[in-house]
Structure 1
Amino acid sequence: MENSRLYFITGGVRSGKSSFAEKKAVELAIQSGGNLHYLACGRSSDAEMEERINRHRQDRHRSPLAWRTSEYATDVTRIGKDLDAKSIVLLDCLTTLLDNELFLPNVPLTEGFLHKVFTKIIKGIGEIRKEAQSLIIVSNEVVQEPIFQDEFLHTYGKVLGLLHQAIVERADEAYLVESGVPLRMKAGIPE
């Protein structure tokens, strides 16, 4: 979609970024008469993740507008068949998507593979953006954490940092959420 808007929202774990993203999506839908789509990338891998997934579901059920939820741990472009020019898509979250795409069993983390994963995610974001009115991407600020002692985590942090830079470059607005407070880091042109 030619006038599609891209919003990037990041922050630390439990910073309130998902709640802010959901409020932003609802606000956009109310302003435009759009429909809400939640693109969940998380997998229920343990009790804590299951609790987080359930909490996000409950938050959406309490929303003043109905959400349509699609669960794609990888290959997020599959949501495209459900979108139209009035769709507001919330992708939650980029870090989980990267984890799902990057750490496959028995696949070595070569530079070629890392580039392929990076390109696949960026291309997928572009494809969703072509179909939707707005795309909101939530991510975690893990690259500020001291994770680089482990080679896998170092690789993950490196690719995530590159994804953040590429997405923010394309974004109309970017936010960092700390302690529930969104800080606008990049402002779009007012409409």
Structure 2
Amino acid sequence: MDRKLTFISGGVRSGKSAYAEKLLVEGAAAAHGRLVYIASGRAVDEEMRQRIEKHKLDRADVDWLTFEQPIDLEEALPFIQPNDFVLWDCLTTWLANELYTEHEGTYCIHIKGCMEKKAAQLVETVAAIQEKATHFVIVSNEVLDEPASTYEETQTYCKWIGELHQHLVKLADDAIEMDCGLPLYWKKEGQVAVR
């Protein structure tokens, strides 16, 4: 059976999660597969709590098996089965969570080599989920279109999101950028789109 990895990025409220859900719901219905949602969001403030609730409501009419996995994506791996249609939403939230996870009294962002280990583990985990699931869709925010920040920690975040985006797009069968609810395919089944 063919396995597929799709990477979807876009700005906030660009329609990327809705498009990802639609792809997987249609695919799972056709293949009688199970829908799995890996959620990385944490309700750290009222705005984030409302966004999480909205995402839950948006998918309430479809039977999703949901895993709350704000860090350590690899912990979701044992629950993925063949013929699963898996959505991970989202990479950017996971990265922020991991950068600010405490290790021995300090955050990962301040520990030399910490994020390198986490990024390597992430790439292994993505490959492992891709091997198990029928279709794996990764959603991420496009944050690199903004002017460069003068804050060192923001620069570190942007460096990592840029590197991870590039690596995952290389692995992906399809790479899509959402704009105003419309998908722009930059890569489709191994072919790079030409503009």
Q: Please say whether Structure 1 and Structure 2 have the same fold, judged by a TM-score greater than 0.5.
A: yes
CA positional deviation for 1:72: 0.7
CA positional deviation for 1:81: 2.4
CA positional deviation for 1:79: 1.8
Question: Aligned equivalents of 1:189 and 1:120: distance in 2?
Answer: 24
Cα-to-partner distance string for 1:118-169 (whole Å, 9 max, x where unaligned): 2122112112222211110000011111242110010000010000000000
Structure 1 unaligned runs (5+)?
Answer: none
- The match for 2:86 is 89
Question: Aligned equivalents of 2:87 and 2:170: distance in 1?
Answer: 18
- The match for 1:3 is 2
Letter in 2 for 1:181: L
Q: Is the 8 A contact 1:35 1:88 kept in 2?
A: yes
Question: Aligned equivalents of 1:148 and 1:117: distance in 2?
Answer: 23
- The match for 1:12 is 11
Task: State the SS of the aligned residue for 1:139.
Answer: strand
Letter in 1 for 2:85: I
Q: Is the 8 A contact 1:17 1:177 kept in 2?
A: yes
Q: Is the 8 A contact 1:75 1:124 kept in 2?
A: no
Question: Aligned equivalents of 2:114 and 2:153: distance in 1?
Answer: 13
Task: State the SS of the aligned residue for 1:7.
Answer: strand
Q: Is the 8 A contact 2:74 2:122 kept in 1?
A: no
CA positional deviation for 1:42: 0.5
Question: Aligned equivalents of 1:111 and 1:147: distance in 2?
Answer: 23
2:165 is aligned with 1:164: yes
Question: In angstroms, what is the RMSD of aligned CA positions?
Answer: 1.7
Name the % identity: 40
- The match for 1:178 is 179
Letter in 2 for 1:160: I
Question: Aligned equivalents of 1:111 and 1:172: distance in 2?
Answer: 33
Question: Aligned equivalents of 2:144 and 2:133: distance in 1?
Answer: 29
Letter in 1 for 2:21: E
State the TM-score, normalized to the length of structure 1: 0.92
Q: Is the 8 A contact 1:9 1:174 kept in 2?
A: yes
Task: State the SS of the aligned residue for 1:61.
Answer: coil
